[in-house]
Amino acid sequence: MIKNKKILIVGAGGFIGGHLVKRLLDDGNFVTTTDIKPKEFWFQDFEEAKNFYDTDMKDINNCRKVTQDIDYVFNMACNMGGMGFIENNKAECMQSVLINTNLLIACKEDKVEKYFFSSSACAYNKNKQQEVFIDGLKEHDAYPADPEDGYGWEKLFSERMCRHFMEDYGIQVRIARYHNIYGPYGTYDGGREKAPAALCRKVLKAKKNNDDKIEVWGDGKQTRTFLYIDDCIEGTLRLFESSYSEPVNIGSDEQVSINQMIEIIEKISNIKKLERIYQLDKPKGVRGRSSNNDLVKKVLKWSYNIKLKDGLQKTYDWIKQESSKKGSNLSKFTKS
């Protein structure tokens, strides 16, 4: 357990960042938080985090302001969303390389001890993801390089930058390749949401409106693995405290199709099977993506605990609660 450390979390107003802030505060650390969004749009807010900044970390001068007298840095910041966002905003996604690069420079100058970078399964070679229900992607499958255009290239480039700062300047780095993290306190509407939250919202809407149809991006046969947020945070902190410095998958190996996930959510909502309206012109991403967890089990002696059906139940219940609030400020959960 990390305890009594001075920690900077960049991207603290986001989904994973907000959950990480909560855990590190609960464990007794002194947390400084920053995000480009104004504070009212942060997904979670914590009074215990005394130092907070709503500032653009693509500017190296802003990085230098917040890395002073810091022990550890967690870089959770990037401009991203679900497939609908990253396929249509490649230049915006790529600019996140500035955050990572400038943060590393500031960390070198201020002699920060350890640095975490949140990478993504989008860094993997697309040619190895052309079929459904593929074998899990192993860490070496990122090369030869052909990642998701825009967002995936940003992640792969930033991984290499972390590696070279470790080699040249001695900064300890830890890199997690996240596989589709989901759960409460995340985006579920507005264009940046990912499949689990989007489908929970659509099923809830169909039930509320007594509708018998649901719109599905693609043919519904595309497959993924999804990791619940609590498992993500646990795996992240175990990796951070380990001595392993190469990229590691943090994900589930419970692979399902989009159609299968809809069936799980239908059972959760106690609604009859909805007619699928497949939207073949919508962004679909690769055909199949799954996490191979052999390495994370070996180096961390850890595996995920929460099954997809249980995580979807928690997510569904939270979205139902949020969407039913009178005068609910949905915009808080629709911004990255």
Write the pLDDT tens digit of every residue in 48-98: 776 888 999 999 999 999 999 999 999 999 887 777 787 888 999 999 999
Rg (CA), the chain: 19
The mean pLDDT value for 95-103 works out to 97
Q: CA 103 to CA 67: how far, in whole Å?
A: 8
Q: Which of 53, 115, 151, 316 is catalytic?
A: 151
DSSP, collapsed to helix, strand or coil, labels residue 198 as helix
DSSP state, 144?
S
Whether the pLDDT of residue 328 is over 90: the answer is no
Q: What is the pLDDT of residue 43?
A: 87
Q: 129 is written with which tokens?
A: 């993801």
Instruction: Please indicate whether residue 323 or residue 146 has the higher confidence score (pLDDT).
Output: 146
Instruction: State yes or no: pLDDT of 279 exceeds 90.
Output: yes
Residue type, 48: E
> How far apart are alpha carbons 142 and 9 in whole angstroms?
27
pLDDT at 39: 86
* pLDDT at 336 (0 to 100): 35
Say which residues have a Cβ less than 8 Å from residue 48's Cβ, sequence separation at least 6: 25, 31
Has 169 been annotated as catalytic?
no
CATH numeric code, 6-181+227-250 = 3.40.50.720
Q: What residue spans define the domains of the chain?
A: 6-181+227-250, 182-224+255-290+305-333
Say whether 182-224+255-290+305-333 and 6-181+227-250 share the same fold.
no
pLDDT of residue 333: 42
Q: Which two tokens stand for residue 183?
A: 């759960």
Closest by alpha carbon to 8, among 53, 49, 86, 67? 67
Q: What does the pLDDT look like over 260-271, one tens digit per residue?
A: 999 999 999 999
Topology of the domain covering 182-224+255-290+305-333: UDP-galactose 4-epimerase; domain 1 (3.90.25)
Quick one: pLDDT at residue 327?
47
Overall average pLDDT of the 169-186 stretch: 97
Q: Quickly state the pLDDT bin for 191 (edges 50, 70, 90).
A: confident
